[in-house]
Amino acid sequence: MTTAPERAIEQRDELGLPADPFGSGQVGKPVLRYGGGDRASGAQRFVADLVFPGALQVALVTVPVGCADLLGIDTTAARAIPGVVDVVTPADLPSPMPRFGVSHVDRPVLADGRVNYHGEPVAAVLAETADAAQAGARAVVVDYRELPGVYSLDAALADGAHLVQDPSIRPGHALAETNVLEEAHYTWGDVEAEQQRADVVVENTYTFPMVTHFPIEPGGTVAVPTDQGGLDIYSPVQHPYLLQRTIASVIGLPLNQVRVFAPDPGGGFGGKQNPKLEPLLAFLALRTRRTCRIVLSLEETFQSMRRAGCRISARTGFTKDGELTFHLVQADFQIGAYADVAPRVMGKGSYVAAGPYRIPGVRIDARAVVTNTTPSTAFRGFGSPQVAWATESQLDAGARELGLDGLEIRRRNLVAKGEPFVRGESAAAADGEWIQSLEKAAELIGWDTPLPPGRGRGIAVGIKPGATSGLSQSLVRLLCDGSAIVYAGTSDMGQGARTLWQQIVADELGAELDHVSVVSGDTGTVPFDLQTSASRSTVFMGSAVLEACQDVRRRVLELYAESTGMDPSELDERPGVLVTPDGEISLPEAARTALGSLRGEFIGQGTRRLRGKSKHPLGGDAAFYEFNATAIEVEVDRETGELLLTRHVTVSDVGTELNPLQVVSQDEGAAIMGLGHSQMEQLLLDEHGRIRNLGALDYRIPTFKDVPVELVSAAVENHDGPGPYGSKGISEGALLCTAGALGAAVTDATGVVIRDLPLTPERVWTALQHQH
């Protein structure tokens, strides 16, 4: 009788890939989500669900404007409220005010003499109950003088504009006296000559709104002082080790005195990558020597994170045959009051502002512009959706001038595998057969089939660079009974990373799937992982887990040889089995024989490291690119401007589907999220810089009533990725070009061109009225 591990081996090809993705091996199967049952049933415990007896509850004090000088803070009334233990103001923190940040160390723990955005905390109230803390926060009297803050790109870039950040924060920086935090410039080819060669030139300006991440779990943090003078921090942060390093630096502690527990977040989308209120809670816990806990409301969560808005002006040239000749881009990202990771978003997004196309002359100029608004941070797509909205719309504008359709203009310009789409010193080349995704999307949407009146189709493509540097480390333990434990620092924030590791370990070590468990979310237990972002979980941590399994297999072979007296050269190992002169035996069986009566276990270690390049504008070459083609069919109600998506097709280049169910789920989620910023989502500000549509009632996100009538998700597999078994990172691709495809479909249906997102019914209706 053939054992399960042996069947898995029989169905792998020479590359180690499952020859039959739905064979007996776990890799390639639609395995159900690790921990998914708790999420579906409501048993999942988020940070707010954790119980900390005797913890002080924290409430924040803010002022009702987006920009103001702080003149004084009176805490007398607040301290008199029963249950209030302490009120901490900037004067109670070290001087100068401690600051932190990812790209720039510019964010103060509490507002440092000036409020720079609506919702920035100016004080914190600590009380025995949440009600007392909130009452205390309302009782704090803040004396302030409102300043003429800058709440838009035009206001921030105007001559003599109010400076959001004091120049002393950026000493010696060439842009310190402006509201431009950083710039990025990319250019290649003879732009002037290519402009002369163009037969058709289109020039337009596009806007992309500020939107919020809207996680189902609000922000929250718990800080627990330890008996040794250190801190335990509980946070749904995506980068536990980055938070550990930040807290240690701000407080002045060695890393081993800061332990971060990161329970699974209820949605991250980039918004929970980086520290926000954790440094404040750390100071409060050390000050009171008590556990301090804060859970934000949804409205407060809105004020703590968002995506950068963007304005893109583009000028693009084509020959009469539809060949792109040049593309000029000026992109201004509205990043908010503090840097966070937004300069990186600006730089990485604008790097691919020419799209995945063959363009001989390109000049891209981008700026990260600070305004008195909520600091922006990473958001699914990381700057690429903003620039793709403009570039894809430019291609359609050129196609209309030339009498071509959206599919044909892309066919003629899309790069082939191995062909550069970014040229010059920082050249980047296509790492997939991207035309296959485009053609598949066109086929699935029925591109050439007739349409009824009032309907239109659009197609677009998007690209995003993956991680350009990274370090992921993993430990895998094979226990004496054949079960296994994986230790990995990657956060599982919805991408299902632990499921993939479970599948990999089951196949590589011959374990039963439900006998593989995963430990993560604790810097005191799991090995180092740089971060959970840029769709790196599969490629980086997955590779580290795979290497750790291979290390385990080698150790089993060596001890088996020692225990049996065999010559190691007579043995070999493969996924799931040990090969002996007498035949193959399952790896768990070989492990039991090797361990003998003393039992014990085998421990393997794996590392995936990608070193950056200091002279590269992104800090290194991308490990892979996410590529997606999206096609949308829409019906437009000319009387109301409402859009009905009758079919939405998304096709991603995935390398290898390690878990088809998760690939489909991620692409569907990203596609619907992309419809949010394309159709309805936008943060609206009043004249004082306050968000007018805080919360779920006034800020619309897609619901079941808004999803397409038919949503089709497909993938292209060529096993050409750098991850395990030829996989690539996914999960962001399906929202990169949603807006471009939808905008093109609306134009096809109505003849009107709209260049400002979102395409709300009001905006569509207004454009239709101006058509006549």
Q: How many CB atoms lie within 10 A of CB 24?
A: 18
Residue (of 665, 645, 644) closest to 654 by Cα position: 665
Residue (of 663, 666, 626, 623) closest to 434 by Cα position: 626
Helix H or strand E segment including 5: helix 4-10
- DSSP state, residue 529: B
What is the rounded CA–CA span in Å between residue 530 and residue 3?
39
- Sheet strands (E) in 557-642: 572-574, 577-580, 583-586, 601-610, 625-636
* CA contacts within 13 A on the Cβ side of 253: 23
DSSP codes, 667-726: HHHHHHHHHHHHHT----B-TTS-BTT-STTTS----TTTS-SSEEEEEEE-S-SSSGGG
Q: How many CB atoms lie within 10 A of CB 769?
A: 11
Residue (of 499, 504, 434) closest to 476 by Cα position: 504
| Residues sharing a CB contact under 8 Å with residue 565, sequence separation 6 or more, in sequence order | none
Rounded to 10 degrees, the C-alpha dihedral 585/589/592/595 comes to 30
What is the rounded CA–CA span in Å between residue 506 and residue 514?
9
Q: Do residues 127 and 133 lie in contact, with contact meaning Cβ atoms separated by under 8 Å?
A: yes
Rounded to 5 degrees, φ, ψ at 566 are: -85, 160
Is residue 522 classed exposed, middle or buried when 0-12, 13-18 and 19+ CB atoms within 10 A define those classes? Answer: middle
Residues β-bridged to residue 204: 314
What is the rounded CA–CA span in Å between residue 248 and residue 257?
8
SS3 349: helix
Task: List the catalytic residues.
Answer: 732
What does the block give as tokens for 343?
Answer: 């300069």
Q: Do residues 671 and 648 lie in contact, with contact meaning Cβ atoms separated by under 8 Å?
A: yes
What is the rounded CA–CA span in Å between residue 46 and residue 222?
12
Q: Do residues 99 and 105 lie in contact, with contact meaning Cβ atoms separated by under 8 Å?
A: yes
CA distances from 74 to 70, 93, 109, 514 (A): 11, 16, 19, 58
What is the rounded CA–CA span in Å between residue 687 and residue 664?
43
Q: Diameter of the chain by CA atoms?
A: 90
Q: Tell the residue number behind the tokens 């990203």, with chain if given.
A: 670
Q: Do residues 258 and 248 lie in contact, with contact meaning Cβ atoms separated by under 8 Å?
A: yes
- DSSP state, residue 382: T
Rounded to 5 degrees, φ, ψ at 185 are: -135, 125
Residues β-bridged to residue 474: 488, 606
Q: Tell the residue number behind the tokens 């599969």, with chain if given.
A: 538
Is residue 597 classed exposed, middle or buried when 0-12, 13-18 and 19+ CB atoms within 10 A define those classes? Answer: exposed
What is the rounded CA–CA span in Å between residue 371 and residue 369?
7
- Sheet strands (E) in 489-586: 516-519, 572-574, 577-580, 583-586
What is the rounded CA–CA span in Å between residue 358 and residue 344?
25
Q: Tell the residue number behind the tokens 């990274």, with chain if given.
A: 470
